Amino acid sequence: MSALRLPYPEICELECKACGRCVAACPKGVLRLSEGFNPRGYHYAEYGGEGCIGCGRCFYTCPEPYTLRIHLPARDKAAKKAEA
Ligand code: SF4
Ligand code: SF4
Protein backbone atom coordinates (compact mmCIF):
# COMPACT_ATOMS: atom_id res chain seq x y z
CA MET A 1 0.00 0.00 0.00
CA SER A 2 1.28 3.46 -0.84
CA ALA A 3 2.64 5.43 2.14
CA LEU A 4 0.32 8.25 1.05
CA ARG A 5 -2.64 6.04 1.95
CA LEU A 6 -1.50 5.41 5.50
CA PRO A 7 -2.33 7.56 8.51
CA TYR A 8 0.44 9.58 10.10
CA PRO A 9 0.82 12.26 12.77
CA GLU A 10 2.15 15.72 11.99
CA ILE A 11 3.84 17.49 14.89
CA CYS A 12 4.67 21.18 15.00
CA GLU A 13 8.15 21.09 16.48
CA LEU A 14 8.09 24.72 17.52
CA GLU A 15 4.91 24.45 19.61
CA CYS A 16 5.74 21.15 21.33
CA LYS A 17 6.61 21.49 25.04
CA ALA A 18 7.95 17.94 25.37
CA CYS A 19 5.44 16.85 28.01
CA GLY A 20 5.59 13.32 26.63
CA ARG A 21 1.85 12.66 26.87
CA CYS A 22 1.55 11.68 23.23
CA VAL A 23 4.50 9.30 23.56
CA ALA A 24 2.86 7.60 26.54
CA ALA A 25 -0.56 7.49 24.89
CA CYS A 26 0.46 5.94 21.58
CA PRO A 27 -0.57 2.25 21.55
CA LYS A 28 1.90 1.48 18.76
CA GLY A 29 4.92 3.14 20.36
CA VAL A 30 5.74 5.09 17.24
CA LEU A 31 6.27 8.49 18.87
CA ARG A 32 9.36 9.60 20.78
CA LEU A 33 11.00 12.73 22.10
CA SER A 34 13.78 13.96 19.85
CA GLU A 35 17.39 14.16 20.88
CA GLY A 36 17.58 17.63 19.38
CA PHE A 37 16.00 20.80 20.72
CA ASN A 38 13.43 23.08 19.16
CA PRO A 39 14.07 26.86 19.19
CA ARG A 40 12.37 27.07 22.61
CA GLY A 41 14.68 24.50 24.15
CA TYR A 42 12.41 21.46 24.24
CA HIS A 43 13.04 17.92 23.03
CA TYR A 44 10.03 18.00 20.72
CA ALA A 45 8.01 14.89 19.93
CA GLU A 46 8.63 13.18 16.61
CA TYR A 47 7.16 10.32 14.61
CA GLY A 48 9.25 7.25 13.93
CA GLY A 49 8.02 7.25 10.33
CA GLU A 50 5.85 4.13 10.22
CA GLY A 51 3.35 2.15 12.24
CA CYS A 52 0.72 4.82 12.94
CA ILE A 53 -2.80 3.41 12.88
CA GLY A 54 -4.56 6.77 13.04
CA CYS A 55 -6.23 6.14 16.40
CA GLY A 56 -5.95 9.81 17.40
CA ARG A 57 -4.90 9.23 21.01
CA CYS A 58 -1.87 11.47 20.63
CA PHE A 59 -4.06 14.25 19.24
CA TYR A 60 -6.57 14.05 22.08
CA THR A 61 -3.95 13.92 24.80
CA CYS A 62 -1.77 16.81 23.60
CA PRO A 63 -2.35 19.88 25.80
CA GLU A 64 -0.78 22.31 23.34
CA PRO A 65 -3.16 23.80 20.75
CA TYR A 66 -2.21 23.42 17.09
CA THR A 67 0.76 21.18 17.91
CA LEU A 68 -0.32 17.78 16.76
CA ARG A 69 -2.70 16.58 14.09
CA ILE A 70 -3.37 13.29 12.39
CA HIS A 71 -3.62 12.79 8.67
CA LEU A 72 -6.09 10.10 7.72
CA PRO A 73 -6.27 8.74 4.18
CA ALA A 74 -9.47 9.42 2.30
CA ARG A 75 -11.57 6.30 1.92
CA ASP A 76 -11.81 5.17 -1.66
CA LYS A 77 -15.07 5.24 -3.61
CA ALA A 78 -15.57 1.46 -3.53
CA ALA A 79 -15.41 1.38 0.27
CA LYS A 80 -17.86 4.27 0.55
CA LYS A 81 -20.28 2.55 -1.86
CA ALA A 82 -20.13 -0.71 0.09
CA GLU A 83 -21.09 1.14 3.26
CA ALA A 84 -24.03 2.95 1.62
S1 SF4 B 1 -2.65 8.35 15.82
FE2 SF4 B 1 -2.44 6.67 17.34
S3 SF4 B 1 -0.96 5.24 16.43
FE4 SF4 B 1 -0.77 7.20 15.31
S5 SF4 B 1 0.91 8.28 16.36
FE6 SF4 B 1 -1.04 8.97 17.30
S7 SF4 B 1 -1.36 7.62 19.08
FE8 SF4 B 1 0.21 6.66 17.77
S1 SF4 C 1 1.61 15.80 23.88
FE2 SF4 C 1 1.93 17.61 22.55
S3 SF4 C 1 3.22 19.01 23.75
FE4 SF4 C 1 3.33 16.98 24.74
S5 SF4 C 1 5.16 15.99 23.80
FE6 SF4 C 1 3.39 15.38 22.55
S7 SF4 C 1 3.26 16.91 20.85
FE8 SF4 C 1 4.59 17.75 22.48
Does ligand 2 lie within 6 Å of residue 26's CB atom?
A: no
Residues 33-56: tens digit of each pLDDT: 999 999 999 999 999 999 999 999
The pLDDT-based confidence of 72 (bands split at 50, 70, 90) is very high
Q: Among 22, 34, 57, name the best residue to mutate to test ligand 2's pocket (greatest count of ligand atoms within 8 A of Cβ).
A: 22
Q: For 3-83, CATH number?
A: 3.30.70.20
Percentage of the chain modeled with pLDDT above 90: 81
Look at residue 2 in the predicted model and tell me its pLDDT.
Answer: 57
Identity (one letter) of the amino acid at 54?
G
Bridge pairing between strands 31-33 and 8-11: unpaired
Looking at ligand 1, which residue's alpha carbon is closest to its atom 6? 58
Look at residue 76 in the predicted model and tell me its pLDDT.
Answer: 66
**Averaged pLDDT for residues 17-33:** 98
Residue 72: partners with Cβ closer than 8 Å, 6 or more residues away:
7, 54
Per domain, the residue ranges of the chain are 3-83
Look at residue 80 in the predicted model and tell me its pLDDT.
Answer: 66
